[in-house]
């Protein structure tokens, strides 16, 4: 067991899963089954276990909460606002992936539901997930532009 003189934060990982559709991009959200933010929509994610990386935690939580397994994850960044989680001091590392099309997902574990939402018609998001989403969409736009430039 670890003991430290100074308090330290908990670490979580969130996974943003985007999918292309004929009507534009969609994102997978889960409806939280438990407090805090019970009933609100959020990204699949949760606390990192001591023996895993944040990327491993993001993959595990995605599988536990939606049943999905995805390929490559891209790190969006770390989010560390002091009050981002009402339970305790929590820092999250967020990742994203983009699928060719939505895959059926089911809310399991501590997710009451899992559902695909159009980016243009999102419900209110829990925690600081709106800011995480903003940064993710900025990165996806940059990645698409760079990809087009690399093709030339």
Q: State pTM to two decimals.
A: 0.91
Task: Sort strands 10-19 and 26-32 into parallel, antiparallel or unpaired.
Answer: antiparallel
Per-residue pLDDT at 133: 97
pLDDT at residue 145 tops 70: no
- The larger pLDDT score, comparing residue 60 to residue 83, is at 60
Question: What digits encode the pLDDT tens for the residues 79-138?
Answer: 999 988 888 999 999 999 999 999 999 999 999 999 999 999 999 999 999 999 999 999
**Bridge partners, residue 19, by sequence:** 26, 99
For tokens 């990386």, name the residue.
Answer: 53
Q: What is the CATH number of domain 10-151?
A: 3.90.79.10
pLDDT at 66: 98
């Amino acid at each position: 067991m670890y003991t430290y003189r100074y308090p330290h934060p908990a670490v979580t990982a969130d996974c943003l899963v985007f999918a292309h559709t004929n009507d534009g991009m969609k994102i997978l959200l889960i409806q939280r089954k438990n407090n805090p933010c019970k009933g609100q929509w959020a990204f699949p994610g949760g606390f990192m276990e001591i023996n895993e990386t944040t990327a491993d935690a993001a993959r595990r939580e995605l599988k536990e909460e939606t049943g999905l397994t995805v390929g490559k994850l891209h790190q969006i960044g770390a989010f560390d606002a002091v009050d981002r989680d009402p339970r305790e001091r929590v820092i999250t590392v967020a990742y994203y992936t983009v699928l060719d099309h939505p895959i059926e997902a089911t809310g399991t574990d501590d997710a009451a539901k899992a559902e695909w939402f159009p980016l243009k018609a999102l419900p209110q998001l829990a925690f600081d997930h709106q800011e995480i989403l903003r940064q993710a969409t900025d990165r996806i736009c940059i990645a698409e532009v760079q990809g087009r430039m690399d093709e030339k």
